[in-house]
Amino acid sequence: MTSVSMTVNGKSVSGEVEGRTLLVDFLRNDLRMTGTHVGCDTSQCGACVVHVDGEAVKACTMFAVEADGAAVATIEGQANADGSLSVVQQAFQDHHGLQCGFCTPGMVMSAAALLKENPKPTEGEIREYLEGNICRCTGYHNIVKAIMAASGQDVAAIAAG
């Protein structure tokens, strides 16, 4: 067992993990932060996206020991301090960017990372950035609209479908 310590959503946490423990498993099983989903176990779907030191990372591709000392942000930490939804979360709600909700945490985390890198992405840039996130319900159209809205852009300009 190895000791790990990190900051998760602004709070210091620590635990004992096996070297093979994935970050997603540490978050879900040890810290009981179940908003980060495990969808495929092969890093294909993006349901497990978190931010590690400000970078979007698929938590199923990173060992917990690799995050030792890091700042980790999960979907649970995305709301505003008063508990209201973040701009990205609110846009997903307003523009129906979710259906079953399984991919939503990873989509929101990826969208937040994209908007940090590129505050005014084009529709094409959004679609390209989300290439590593799979949604089996929405067809991505409303997810793209939500991200455009979160960036302050006019969603009426998005082509249908």
| CB 36 within 8 Å of CB 50 | yes
pTM of the predicted structure, to 2 decimals: 0.93
Q: Does an H or E element contain 144, and which?
A: helix 141-150
- Judge contact between 85 and 79, C-beta under 8 A: yes
pLDDT at position 159: 60
Q: What is the pLDDT of residue 119?
A: 97
Higher pLDDT, 63 or 101: 63
CA separation for the pair 64, 82 (Å, rounded): 30
* pLDDT tens column, 33-76: 999 999 887 889 999 999 999 999 999 999 999 999 999 999 99
Maximal CA-CA distance, the chain: 53
108-157 tens-digit pLDDT:
999 999 999 999 999 999 999 999 999 988 789 999 999 999 999 888 86
Which tokens hold the place of 52? 């590690």
| CA-to-CA separations, 121 to 55, 89, 111, 130, in angstroms, rounded | 17, 17, 10, 12
Q: Give the amino acid at 116.
A: K
User: Could you give all domains of the chain from N- to C-terminal order, each with its CATH number?
Assistant: 2-76 (3.10.20.30), 87-150 (1.10.150.120)
- Are the C-beta atoms of 144 and 157 separated by less than 8 Å? no
Of residues 27 and 132, the one with the higher pLDDT is: 27
Which tokens in the block code for residue 84? Answer: 């209201």
Closest CA to 1 of 64, 71, 44, 73: 64
**Span 15-44, average pLDDT:** 94
